[in-house]
Amino acid sequence: MIPITSRRHPFVARCRALAAGREADLVLLDGPHLVGEALASGLPIVAAAIAPRMAGDPLCGKLAELAPEGAAIYQATAEVMEAASPARSPSGMVAIARVREAPPAVVLAGNLVVAAVGVQDPGNVGAIIRVADAAGATGFAATAGCADPLGWKALRGSMGSAFRVPLASGMSGDALVSAARAAGLEIIATCPAGGTDHDALDLTKPSLFLLGGEGPGLPADLIAAADARVRIPMRGPVESLNVAVATGILLFETRRQRKAMA
């Protein structure tokens, strides 16, 4: 491993730039869990830095094996790791990996697709992807204006699920609905009132769930364009749930219904 002792090293600068936003298909991975998930998923690691206290971690050996393949593997001081990691408490391992989004046609080719519409919190976006993976969703889409699903905070929230679930971002809500309908998916919009209770709605058909952002929810035009509208009944005075929690309730009800039909 190559030693780094300066906070001004180009690797540190690159990590800080990626923490501020994706660079083409390069993403920042913070923490051994996420680095391990990336390795398990076969993602190309471009560079990585490891704190001395992590020297005994089995991941260090796996990363070292990548050096002959062109990856730059560094051993960094605690001060350098603090500068390279975007987290408040550096985990001791940071990496830069290459990740490509899936074409929208691939994301929409499955039978259970989740779309985040205007979800601003990257932690929520990551948690939605994690829930989608756990429930067996076949694809995830984030519309234009959502937090980046491959940003470092969203990746930490997904805990590696973003490497397994085909995902795409940047489409408008209208374009996504049109493409999903052309792919044969039923469009199901979530709404706080006026929809069918989630356990009373037929969720056995191939479908796209539209999940609105924190606060405003889905735009009225997307709700109107949907084939069905679903609500989660809850005891007052509670009016809404965290979007990732709502996703879990809807997807696992879908999973329950589809298993019952099998």
Tell me what the mean pLDDT of segment 231-238 comes to: 86
Asked if 33 and 160 count as a contact pair (C-beta separation under 8 A), the reply is yes
- For CA atoms 68, 69, 72, 78, the dihedral sign is negative
pLDDT 10s digits, 40-99: 999 999 999 999 888 788 888 888 888 768 889 999 999 999 999 999 888 889 999 999
Which DSSP state fits 202?
-
**Is domain 104-261 annotated with CATH 1.10.3720.10?**
no
- Residues 182 and 103: their CA atoms lie apart, in Å, by 15
- Residues 204 and 249: their CA atoms lie apart, in Å, by 15
pLDDT 10s digits, 93-138: 999 999 999 999 999 999 999 999 999 999 999 999 999 999 999 9
Q: What pLDDT is attached to residue 99?
A: 94
- Residues 130 and 118: their CA atoms lie apart, in Å, by 18
Q: What pLDDT is attached to residue 217?
A: 87
Residues in the chain, overall count = 262
- Domains of the chain by residue range: 2-98, 104-261
Query: Looking at the predicted structure, is the pLDDT value of residue 262 above 80?
Result: no
Asked if 136 and 253 count as a contact pair (C-beta separation under 8 A), the reply is no
Q: What pLDDT is attached to residue 198?
A: 95
- Residues 38 and 32: their CA atoms lie apart, in Å, by 10
The 10 Å CB-count burial string (b at 16+, else e) for 5-19 is eebebebbebbeebb
The one-letter code for the residue type at 224 is A
- The listed CATH number (3.30.70.1150, 3.30.1330.30, 3.30.465.10, 1.10.630.10) that belongs to domain 2-98: 3.30.1330.30
Q: Examine domains 2-98 and 104-261 and report if their fold is the same.
A: no
